[in-house]
Amino acid sequence: MNDKNGSIEIIVGPMFAGKSEEILRRIRRLKYAKKKYLVFKPKIDNRYEENKIVSHIKNEADAISIKQANEILKFLNDDIDAVIIDEVQFFDENIIEICENLANDGKRVIVSGLDMDFRGEAFKITSILLCKAEVITKLTAICLKCGNPATRSQRIINGQIAKYSDPIICVGASEKYEPRCRKCHIIIR
Q: How many Å apart are CA 24 and CA 171, to the nearest integer?
A: 20
DSSP code of residue 52: E
Strand 82-85 and strand 37-42: the pairing is parallel
User: Residues 22, 60, 71, 87: which is the catalytic one?
Assistant: 87
CA atoms within a 13 Å half-sphere pointing along the CA-CB vector of 177: 25
CA atoms within a 13 Å half-sphere pointing along the CA-CB vector of 70: 1
Q: How many Å apart are CA 99 and CA 73, to the nearest integer?
A: 11
Beta bridge partners of 155: 177
Q: Active-site residue 175, yes or no?
A: no
The catalytic residue positions are: 87
